[in-house]
Chain A
Amino acid sequence: MARKKTIDPEKADEITIETLAKLAKGIHQSITRGRYPELISPVRSLQNVKEFRKRVGYLEIGEKIKTRTLSVNTVKTFAQTLKMMSLSKDLVETNDFATKRDAYYQSKNWGPAAFKDQPESDTVMDDIEAMVSRYGLGREHLRYIPDEHGGSVAGALKVHDKDLETGEPEVIDCTRFGSGAYSIPSWVEHLDFETDADFVLCIETAGMFQRLQSHKFWRKYNCILVSLGGVPSRACRRFVRRLSEQAKIPVYAFVDCDPYGVANIYRSLKVGSGNAAHVNHLFCVPQARFLGVTPKDIVDYKLPTHPLKDRDIKRANDALSNDPFFQAHPKWQNEIQRLLDMGVRAEQQALARWGLNYVIDEYLPAKLKKTGSFLP
């Protein structure tokens, strides 16, 4: 099976419909041949994540699969899964989309198969996503979009969108938002990008993003600024991924120097998460590199620090012992160990110690001169 091949955005809808039909056909055939139909999906847990391969660039889902066979106990979920697939087909065909909540309310038309509450519909949706992930598709391809969006963009970028109603192309110039920014939509599969920027700078905090945008940092350094807003949302990750892939430009991450910034925000952005490994191939940015703040910066820039909290230490140790990404990168292991040894953390805004715009005038320019030394 051609697993996880990159989906051509032009053909995404076609492939989605085909995949849905293929799955439905398999079930139909089982039934007419008197066999118990089965739904197959990969096991979604950190235990089913493969060893990290740099060549692949993201955390891959393992081989373990879960088979749900039609029986008295599964018949309800089975019915709901198929109805959700049917709804998805409908959404693609009408070029529409539905949030989880929308889907939940849609199910109220399904008679006995209606969902009782949203957790029930969420579970079924996750199952379907896992099923189609084997064919390289994600939930967004099925037109089930997340409720959360998140992520703002500013800088040397024009986004090509489409008017859903009229089909008219719309071009959004991300240089023209004043002190505001372009907000990444929940659903980014249909977007195209036009840019001559040299790199993408992903920033953890909204405050830092605002400073760089207000002072038009991107103009001087010809780049695109993205605000991650903590752990980046699926849409945000997918946006950065598609942008960097289309424009073939590097992505630099600028986050706090603490286990959360490294092990959660940066790791998720770059290689995806352990629990949703079945969609990591879509939601990873393998090109991303770690600009800072590094433990060494704390020393070099004499940054004000806070002591590591218990949960920071736990998180750091977890990363060292369980995370396939860090296990594959000795440099990262050293850095994390160093952080643990120092017993402190520093936020990116700590640079303000040397003046509010020190980061723009000194820190970032210095860093950008040595991109080769960025952590992987």
Chain B
Amino acid sequence: MDQQGRLGLIETGEDGSAPPAADANDSPPVPVETIPPELGERANDSQPPVAVETANPPPKRRASARSMGGKHRAISISEFFTKNRHLLGFDNPAKALLTTVREAVDNALDACEEAGILPNITVEIDPVTGYDDRYTVLVRDNGPGIIKAQIGKVFGKLLYGSKFHRLKQSRGQQGIGISAAGMYGQITTGRPVTVISRTGKRRPTHRMVLQIDTRRNEPKYLSEEQLEEWDWEHGTEIILTIAATFKGGRHSVDEYMRQTAMSNPHAHIVYRNPRGVDHVYERQVHELPKEPEEIQPHPHGIELGMLMRMLRETKRRNLTDFLKEEFCRVSQRNAEEIITGTAKRVPDRQRNQMLRRNPKAMERHEVEALFKVLGETKLHSPPTNCLSPIGHEDIRTGLFALFDPGEHDPSEFFVTGETRKPAVYRGNPFQVEVGLVYGKGLEGDNAAEVYRFANRVPLQYQAGACAITKAVQSLNWRQYNLTQPRGGFPVAPMVVSVHISSAWVPYTSESKEAIAHYPEILSELRLALQVCARRLQRHIRRQRKQRDAEKRKQYLEKYLDPISEALQEILGFNDQEKARVSVQLTELIDPQEEEAEPEDEAEVDEMVGRPIRHVEVVPEDQATTDDGSRETTSDSIVSPEGAEEVAQATLGLELPEGAED
């Protein structure tokens, strides 16, 4: 945990001075500075932090350099947030509620999975009596719990997290979310955050009420106590009070919970909305997703600032080791090649000198040369075991959580799913999955519904800015027998869900609402959609053919009899002969020409021209069925029989362990 980094207060200098955290009573020794790249510039330009109280004698004349110097001070990220909360998804009361729930649930799921626990999540939203614009949000999980010393930091300090400084697929990325929610609640209602946590059966249950000191980005404890009893052996509960509005629709919390259940079939989720409606999403898959491995950065995926930081922080004594050990996919040979290339660009250093160079001592122009060479050197793609896709079987299962089949038998729907092989954008591995359901029970005159997920988190806002939306729109669905207005979604009774998993999902903003348009990502999205669309097309054709055959048969039966009858009338043969003629006519005109379409022919991909591995164990149109015990108050996800084994088998096939060197 230690070296995974933490803390986000602005610091300065290269000496690794600790931030001016006031009293470090409950915080462990803070390691070297860690600046998120996007804040790096600002940090380097700013002066060392100065005590705030002494900083502002009101000048009556033009400021002197001295007094101006006095005005420069570090901006705490918490202060920054209070002024820019829209960047984090708190722009309006309805969205703030969603963001709060989302951050809490994302954390809960991440924690459970990381600890290897099948998640049980409870979400309750209650209106605060006396207010019509305040709600308390309670999120409880059965995760590993948080040790007492960390509770304050996790919930009371922004940019404090375990996820930012590593490359591993998880829902949260920046360590900004839940504490931002706490801060939002504090700003809008003045209420503190309550956290209850227990780390094991024999461990005490701590209950802490805390606030965030927004100036210093530090937690402030209002009360702490040990609870005598708590229902759960381990887990964490957080209660926040925030100003919010509860609304329905696509952007609602209800929708978020539903979609989360869809993308997390291994979780058991109980959700009560402010109107007192309970939703129970039962666990559909009783195994945790494959745990994503943490990987080292790939040389093609880093930026200059990050390289400089890594050089400063490394424990390696020479550049060769640094390259080999701190990055993935750099062999001895690669390292030597990189250094040789760097030495050529640095006239004042010999190659041999460079090989043994102390990373910490490297000068700026050396680092820049190294950075350039890193980007140009040919290297293997990063390992893909840092990814944990939903799996196309589960994505198909989950689709039924996204719409209500109504009176229709789910087996009437066409369901398909496709998990692409991992690919890479800018040195970051990612993987695309698409699930598609089509059937007459869905509304046919409307545009298809498209659901977007990133690392199992539903994306509900900014559809227009998202690469997923663009990929769906840019595909020519007409080619697959669907109607499509120019540049729009196809018009069909269809639901599409798209999932991107990656160690670092390139969101367009910190509020994690849309995925950036990297060409590699768009291309993978299109390929996955094409595979599903092609199968859908086959289904539509087959359906049409069946319909036609049926019509044809009826039609023929109608007219074949008059033919044999007329022949009998003219030629005067007996009824036996007439029957014979009828039979022969039928055979003649309607031979059983069921030219069975080869189902598992190797499909050749249109765009790249390589065969797609297509593992399809269960016939596609044998959609999942539900046992019929649907309760009015609970949405349950239907589970296909044997889906798990299939998913296992498929995962094993489609995601070979480790690298594909």
Binding site for B on A (CB under 8 A): 20-21, 24-25, 27-28, 31-32, 34-36, 70-72, 75-76, 78-80, 82-83, 85-86, 89-90, 110-113
Contact = CB atoms under 8 A, between A and B. Distances in A.
A27 B559 contact: no
Given A31-B588, A82-B566, 20 more contacts: A24-B570, A31-B585, A32-B580, A32-B581, A34-B587, A70-B589, A72-B552, A75-B555, A75-B556, A78-B563, A79-B559, A83-B566, A85-B570, A86-B566, A86-B570, A89-B569, A111-B562, A112-B558, A112-B559, A112-B562
B334 to A, nearest CB: 67
Nearest to A72: B552
Contacts of A111: 561-562
A110 B571 contact: no
The 8 closest A-B pairs by CB, nearest first: A82-B566, A113-B562, A86-B569, A79-B562, A112-B558, A24-B570, A79-B559, A86-B566
A89 B570 contact: yes
Given A32-B580, A72-B552, A72-B589, A82 B570 contact: yes
Contacts of B580: 32
Contacts of A113: 558-559, 562
A28 B559 CA distance: 16
A80 to B, nearest CB: 8
A21 B571 contact: yes
B557 to A, nearest CB: 9
Contacts of B569: 86, 89-90
In this complex, which of B561, B562, B584, B585 has the most chain A Cβ atoms within 10 angstroms of its Cβ?
B562
Contacts of A110: 562
Contacts of B588: 31, 34-36, 70
B560 interface: yes
A24 B567 CA distance: 6
A80 B584 CA distance: 19
Interface of B: 552, 555-556, 558-563, 565-567, 569-571, 573, 580-581, 584-585, 587-590
Contact of A21 (B555, B561, B570, B581): B570
Contact of A85 (B552, B556, B566): B566
A328 B584 CA distance: 51
Given A71-B589, A72-B552, A72-B589, A78 B570 contact: no
Contacts of A70: 585, 588-589
Nearest to A111: B562
A28 B562 contact: no
Nearest to B556: A75
A357 to B, nearest CB: 58
B560 to A, nearest CB: 7
B233 to A, nearest CB: 70
B98 to A, nearest CB: 57
Nearest to A27: B567
25 contacts: A20-B570, A21-B571, A24-B566, A28-B571, A31-B585, A32-B581, A34-B588, A70-B588, A71-B589, A72-B555, A72-B556, A75-B559, A76-B558, A76-B559, A79-B562, A82-B566, A82-B567, A83-B566, A85-B566, A85-B570, A86-B570, A89-B570, A112-B559, A112-B562, A113-B559
A86 B588 CA distance: 22
Contacts of A28: 567, 571, 573, 581
Contacts of B571: 21, 24-25, 28
A78 B559 contact: yes
B120 to A, nearest CB: 60
A75 B567 contact: no
B556 to A, nearest CB: 6
A79 B570 contact: no
A79 B566 contact: yes
A312 B341 CA distance: 95
B160 to A, nearest CB: 73
B566 A75 contact: no
Nearest to A20: B570
Contacts of B573: 28
Given A75-B556, A89-B569, A82 B562 contact: yes
A89 B568 CA distance: 12
A69 to B, nearest CB: 10
Contacts of A90: 569
A120 B581 CA distance: 26
A110 B590 CA distance: 23
In this complex, which of B571, B573, B580 has the most chain A Cβ atoms within 10 angstroms of its Cβ?
B571
Nearest to A81: B566
Contacts of B561: 111-112
B589 A75 contact: yes
Contacts of A27: 567
In this complex, which of B556, B569, B570, B589 has the most chain A Cβ atoms within 10 angstroms of its Cβ?
B570
A313 B476 CA distance: 56
B44 to A, nearest CB: 80
A363 B584 CA distance: 70
Contacts of B581: 28, 31-32
Nearest to B571: A24
B562 to A, nearest CB: 4
Nearest to B551: A72
Contacts of B570: 20-21, 24, 82, 85-86, 89
A111 B560 CA distance: 12
A71 B565 CA distance: 18
A78 B558 CA distance: 12
Contact of A31 (B558, B562, B584): B584
B116 to A, nearest CB: 62
A113 to B, nearest CB: 4
Nearest to B580: A32
A112 B560 CA distance: 10
A28 B570 CA distance: 10
A49 B661 CA distance: 78
Contacts of B565: 83, 86
A27 B571 CA distance: 11
B584 A32 contact: yes
Nearest to B590: A72
A27 B562 CA distance: 14
B640 to A, nearest CB: 38
A263 to B, nearest CB: 41
B585 to A, nearest CB: 6
In this complex, which of B565, B581, B590 has the most chain A Cβ atoms within 10 angstroms of its Cβ?
B565
Contacts of A83: 562, 565-566
Contacts of A80: 562
A79 B582 CA distance: 12
A78 to B, nearest CB: 6
A28 B566 CA distance: 11
A29 to B, nearest CB: 10
A82 B561 CA distance: 11
In this complex, which of A31, A36, A86, A113 has the most chain B Cβ atoms within 10 angstroms of its Cβ?
A31
Nearest to A75: B559
Contacts of A89: 569-570
Contact of A82 (B552, B556, B563): B563
A56 B24 CA distance: 124
Contacts of A75: 555-556, 559-560, 563, 589
Nearest to B554: A112
A25 B581 CA distance: 12
A322 to B, nearest CB: 39
A79 to B, nearest CB: 4
A78 B581 CA distance: 15
In this complex, which of B559, B561, B567, B580 has the most chain A Cβ atoms within 10 angstroms of its Cβ?
B559
B563 A79 contact: yes
A319 B569 CA distance: 46
A112 B558 CA distance: 6
Nearest to A70: B589
Contacts of B563: 75, 78-79, 82
